[in-house]
Structure 1
Amino acid sequence: MFTGIIKNIGTIAGINQANDNYRLTINHSLGNLSLGDSIAINGICLTVIDFQKDQFQVEVMPETIKRTNLIEMSVGTRVNLEPALRPNSEIGGHFVLGHVDTIGKLLSKQVTKNSVLLTFSIPKKYNPYIVEKGSIAIDGVSLTLIAVTEDTFQVGIIPYTQDETILGSLKVNQTVNLETDILGKYIYKDLKRGNQNEK
C-alpha cells in the first residue's frame, strides 16, 4: 500500500522482454532497497527482484502491461517512485494500492498564478468512482479532483508537485496511469448491492 506522495524521480535504464513479461531496470536515489520490496513506479505496484547500488529491477506481467502505459515507455523515461507504506509512515495523501485501473490522456494544461490545471480523459465506466473534491492517483501522485464530467476530470498541481514529480513535464495527449479511490469503489459497490436487494 502507498499514499501517493512521491519520494523520488527515477529513470528507466533498461527494458528486457522475455516471452510476455518485461524486466525493467530503474536508476534511483531512494537509498537502500531489499529483495521483495514493493515499490510504486508511476503508480504501479511492482516487486524488487534484483538490485545494485542506485539501481533495481522489477518484472512486469502481461495484465499490468495491458492496463497501464508501461508499453509506451523507453530507456531514459523518467518515472515517479514511492516505496511501500510502513507502519510508522505519515499518510500525507490517500490510500493508494498501486493497482492501476486504466490509463487516461492529458487533454489540456492551463497555467494559473500559483498552479497548473490539468484536464484528463477517463473511460466512462470509471466515472462512478470519481467525485469532486475526492482523490485520484495520477502516475502514482495523490491529487484532489477539482471538477468531474462524464468522461473527464481536472486537478491542479502546485509548483512543488511540478518539480518533485513527472507531472510538471507532461505534454498534451500524453497518457498517464489512473487509480481511482478504493473507498469510492467499495461504497459504490455496497450501494449498488443495496439497491438490487430492494428490488
Structure 2
Amino acid sequence: MFTGIVEELGEITAVEEQSEASRFTVRGPVVTEGAKHGDSIAVNGVCLTVVEFGGGTFTADVMAETLKRSSLGALRPGSRVNLERPMALGGRLGGHLVQGHVDGTGTVLDRTPAQHWEIVKVSLPPELSRYVVEKGSITVDGISLTVVEAAADYFTVSLIPTTLALTTLGIKQPGDPVNLEVDVIAKYVERMMTPGDAR
C-alpha cells in the first residue's frame, strides 16, 4: 500500500525488451536505500517488484498485461519517473490509500499556469468517470491529488510549486499519457451497493 506522496524523481536508465515483458532499470538512490530482493516500489503509480539492486538503481520485470494497461510501455532510457516505497505500518498517511494497481490511463489535455499554482486537465476513460468526484482523491502517475473539476470525460487538478518541481507532472505536456488509479473506497462502496453483483 502506498500514499501517493512521491519520494523521488527517478530516471529510467535501461529498458530490456523480453518475450511478452520488459525489464526496466531505474535510478533512484533514495528508494533503493535499504532495498531487498522482492521489495515493492511504485513507478509512476505502478507497483513493481525489485529483482536486482545496487549502486542507487534497481531492476523490475514488467509483464505484458501491465504494459498494456499502463503508460509504462512508453518509457525509454532517460524518461523521468515518480518513485515511492510502500507505506510502513504505523506511518503517516500523507496522501490517500493507493494500491499501485492502475485502473487506466489518461492524457494530459491542457495546462493553465497561474501565479502560485497550475491547473492541469486530464482525459478520463468513461468507465472510470463514476469514481471521480470534485474534492475527491485520484492518483495520477502515482501522485495523490485532489480533483478540482470532475466531468464525464476529463478532470482537473491544481498543482502547487512543490508538486511541479518534484514530480513528472512538472514536465508532462499535452498529449502525454499518465497512469490513473481511482479511490479504492469508491469501488468497494459501488460493489456493496450493487445487489446481486457476483464479480
Query: Aligning the two structures, in what range does the TM-score lie when normalised by the shorter sequence?
Result: over 0.9
Report the Cα offset of residue 191 of structure 1.
1.8
Contact 1:148/1:154, CA 8 A, preserved across alignment: yes
Q: Separation in 2 of the partners of 1:19 and 1:6?
A: 31
CA deviation string 1:80-123 (max 9, x = no partner): 00001111321100000000011100111011121100010011
Q: For the Cα contact (< 8 Å) 1:138–1:176, is it kept in 2?
A: yes
Higher helix share: 1
1:24 counterpart residue number: 24
Q: Which runs of 5+ in 1 are unaligned?
A: none
Shift in Å, 1:138: 0.3
Q: Which residue of 2 aligns with 1:15?
A: 15
User: What root-mean-square deviation, in Å, do the aligned CA atoms of Structure 1 and Structure 2 show?
Assistant: 1.1
Deviating beyond 2 angstroms after TM superposition, the runs of 4 or more aligned structure 1 residues are none
Aligned: 1:170 with 2:168: no
Partner of 2:93: 91
> CA offset at residue 128 of structure 1?
1.0
Give the alignment of 1:41-52 within 5 angstroms: 41-52=43-54
Q: Secondary structure at the match of 1:99?
A: coil
- The residue type paired with residue 129 of structure 2 is N
TM-score w.r.t. length of structure 1: 0.95
Indicate the residue corresponding to 2:137 in structure 1. Answer: 135
Q: How many residues in Structure 1 have an aligned counterpart in Structure 2?
A: 195
What does 1:1-199 correspond to in 2, within 5 Å? 1-30=1-30, 31-193=33-195
Letter in 1 for 2:7: K
The TM-score with structure 2 as length reference comes to 0.95
Offset, 1:60: 0.4
Report deviation, 1:32. 2.4
Q: Which moved more, 1:27-36 or 1:99-108?
A: 27-36
